[in-house]
Amino acid sequence: MNPLTSILIALLTPLIGALLALASRTRPKLAVTSAVTASAITLAASISLAWATRSGDVFAIHAGDWQAPFGITLVADTFAAIMLVVCQLVIVASVIFCAKTLDASYHRRFLYPLLMTLSFGTNGAFLTGDLFNLYVWFEVLLLSSFALMALLRGEDGHAAAWRYVVINLIASLLFLAAAGLIYGKTGTLNFAELRVRFSEAESSFLINSSAALLFGAFGIKSALIPLAFWLPAAYPKLPPALSALFAGLLTKVGLYAFFRVFGMVFSDGTAFPHQDVLFVVAVVTMVGGVLGAVGQGEMRRILSFHIISQVGYMALALAIYSPLALAAGIFYIGHHIIVKANLFLATGLVEAHAGSSDLSKTSGVMKTSPVIAVLFAIPALSLAGIPPLSGFFAKFSLLHSALQLSDWIGAAAIALVGLLTVFSMLKIWRAIFWGDAEPREAKPHPLLNLTSAVLGLTTIAIGLAAGPLFEIAQTAANGLIDPQTYLEAVLSTPL
Amino acid sequence: MQVIIALITGLLIGAGIYRLLGGAKIDIIIGLILISQGGNLIIFASGGLKHNAPALLTDEATNAASMADPLPQALVLTAIVIGFGILAFLLTLLTRSSKA
């Protein structure tokens, strides 16, 4: 398939799926079918795009044939394609879980159109080539996620949704102000053009203010401590099928923006010390997140705190900013999206089976359902970084890159937080899966086990094929550090 | 002109943050509206402010100096629309949670 066609298919299929799901709202089965089909087609297009960009090629579409930097550009480079593929995998799994685990009240309330518009927003954010459109796509996916949050019932749910909405709106406003200031200073918003401008020696006085604003905005969106405490307040309230989607996608879109803007656009020519600030923030996030996780007593809450600590790892990769570290960070993001979503899905399985995921109420799932225990164990071990699973290679390559630059603080944090992660996973394991079991009859739908198993197998496969996949991550990282191909594709492609 | 716009922007954002810290939900909504209007003004001013300069090419004015920059205006339009959508959503959320 032509890569340019793949870009359009990957972007527009979710929108068509959303419209179809909206049209068939009164018939949930049809809505589910259209949502799953649309996600599957998008996944296929994303895979073909990843295949086309695997050796570092960049494809750009100029909407309405307006040449960059004047028109709206859609760009697919290796990094964007990797993100598209893993996110679509999670979206497909999450839609299947939503269909089988949520009660009927959700199905009547615009659930599938919202899931599809969420996917539409994330794909747009990955493929866009300019800062303002990144803001717009962020708004598309945020509004979808707000509405999904607002489906929550009860006083607790409303409070969680409210907090989540307000903090993310503030992040969006920071982002908007930053985009305005950058346009005022440089006269362009196109990533490629901005990169060219910043590498010419200009005064960076106003750029610093924009960079600081962007840092705050992306920091809130990707949940870096001290901007992360909305996350454990909001995510555990969601049903597991949705929290898998949120945990997998939303913070990672923020990280994508971090990598794209601070890794590619701002990497030279700005005096804003984003690497030093990011380093401190990342280490604090890693340690703080995992300490928060150790102190929790409910599966969903523990996993929510783990999101924060893992985001710290990826931010650390960007803060170290060597080619190896950046590649490790990209590999880490890909691994993390799949594993984190899978952990939440496994939590959903536990709840469907045992009725609760509270550590003090549930025990002995191992005896009553060994299948669920295995399905939880795979992503849990992978998250903790046990070889030969994907998490080990992600952590190891990051540690290696930290040691290469003799960055002892970073290396110590990586090792220590890894240990604490294992510890808090063992806590879940001991409480939920071991111990005495009361007899349970409820069995989750076999399709759910299969979905979770596919993601688990993906984790194992990423671990076994770490070599070639890491090479692709390195290609993506090099494309960010030295975006020559990107600039050529965007700024001078005759259509 | 620039000074006035800058002052108004600062005033809007300052007032917005003050209301945002008020704590009640309606305060938070009003605060967010004020801040987003401040953000819109930042974008509007970012293209440079010109007097009596339309954002159009006419026959007698084909040089860029006598034109206002159309891009920030397009951006502000987009931002206003998004802000309006968010406001509608927030008000819905408010009525929902007050009913519950």
Q: Is the pLDDT of residue B10 over 90?
A: yes
Letter for the amino acid at A132?
A: F
Domain count, chain B: 1
Q: Which residues of B8-43 are buried (b: 16+ CB within 10 A; e: fewer)?
A: ebeebbebbeebbeeeebeebbbbbbbbbbbbbbbb
Query: What is the C-alpha separation between B38 and B43, in angstroms, rounded?
Result: 9
Letter for the amino acid at B31?
A: G
Chain B, window 45-74: residues with a beta carbon less than 8 angstroms from a chain A beta carbon: 45-48, 71-72
Tell me if chain B has a CB within 8 Å of the CB of A354: no
Which residues in chain B touch residue A155, judged by CB atoms under 8 angstroms apart?
100
Please name which of A263, A323, A270 lies closest in space to residue A486, comparing C-alpha atoms: A263
Q: Which domain holds residue A49?
A: 3-491
Cβ–Cβ under 8 Å, residues A365 and A433:
yes
What pLDDT is attached to residue A203?
Answer: 56
Which residues in chain B touch residue A181, judged by CB atoms under 8 angstroms apart?
42, 46
Domain membership flag for residue B82: yes
HSE-CB for B72 with a 13 A CA cutoff: 25
What pLDDT is attached to residue A253?
Answer: 92
Q: Which residues of A70-85 are buried (b: 16+ CB within 10 A; e: fewer)?
A: eebbbbbbbbbbbbbb
Q: How far B22 CA sits from the closest chain A CA (Å)?
A: 13
Please report, for residues A52, A58, A129, A326, A482, the alpha-carbon distance to residue A49 in angstroms, rounded to integers and kept in the order given.
Answer: 5, 10, 16, 21, 21
- The residue written with tokens 């783990």 in the block is A306
What pLDDT is attached to residue A495?
Answer: 38
Contact across the interface for A154 and B100, Cβ inside 8 Å: yes
Query: What is the C-alpha separation between A290 and A322, in angstroms, rounded?
Result: 25
From the CB of residue A388, how many other CB atoms can be counted at a distance below 10 Å? 11
What pLDDT is attached to residue B56?
Answer: 66
Q: Determine the residue of chain A that is closest to B9 in CA distance.
A: A177
Domain membership flag for residue B59: no
Domain membership flag for residue B90: yes
Which residues in chain A touch residue B93, judged by CB atoms under 8 angstroms apart?
146, 150, 158, 161-162, 165
What pLDDT is attached to residue B7?
Answer: 95
Contact across the interface for A132 and B75, Cβ inside 8 Å: yes
What pLDDT is attached to residue A42?
Answer: 92
Contact across the interface for A173 and B36, Cβ inside 8 Å: yes
Domain membership flag for residue B72: yes
**What string of pLDDT tens digits covers the 495 residues of chain A?**
788 888 888 899 999 999 998 888 778 788 888 889 999 999 999 999 988 888 888 888 888 777 767 788 899 989 999 999 999 999 998 888 888 877 777 776 788 899 999 999 999 999 998 899 999 999 999 999 988 888 877 677 778 888 888 899 999 999 999 998 888 888 888 888 888 877 765 556 667 888 888 999 999 998 888 888 888 888 888 888 888 888 888 889 999 998 998 888 876 655 667 778 888 999 999 999 888 888 887 888 888 898 999 999 899 988 888 888 899 999 999 999 999 999 988 888 888 887 777 777 777 777 788 888 888 888 888 888 888 888 888 888 888 888 888 788 888 888 888 888 888 888 888 888 887 777 776 777 788 888 888 888 888 888 888 888 889 998 988 888 888 888 888 887 443
Chain A, window 166-185: residues with a beta carbon less than 8 angstroms from a chain B beta carbon: 166, 169-170, 173, 176-177, 179-181, 183-184
Q: Determine the residue of chain A that is closest to B27 in CA distance.
A: A166
Which residues in chain A touch residue B12, judged by CB atoms under 8 angstroms apart?
none
Q: Determine the residue of chain B that is closest to A174 in CA distance.
A: B39
What pLDDT is attached to residue A388?
Answer: 82
Most A CBs within 10 Å, among B28, B71, B89, B93, to test the A interface: B93
What pLDDT is attached to residue A459?
Answer: 87
Contact across the interface for A176 and B96, Cβ inside 8 Å: no
Tens of pLDDT, residue by residue over B43-63, are: 888 877 777 766 666 665 566
- φ/ψ bin of A173: left (φ > 0), alpha (ψ from -120 to 50), beta (otherwise): alpha
Cβ–Cβ under 8 Å, residues B61 and B11:
no
Contact across the interface for B96 and A165, Cβ inside 8 Å: no
Tens of pLDDT, residue by residue over A211-249, are: 888 999 999 998 888 888 888 888 888 888 888 888 888
What pLDDT is attached to residue A234?
Answer: 83
Q: Determine the residue of chain B that is closest to A185 in CA distance.
A: B46
Domain count, chain A: 1
Query: What is the C-alpha separation between A58 and A78, in angstroms, rounded?
Result: 7
Q: How far B3 CA sits from the closest chain A CA (Å)?
A: 15
For residue B32, name the pLDDT band (cuts at 50, 70, 90).
Answer: very high
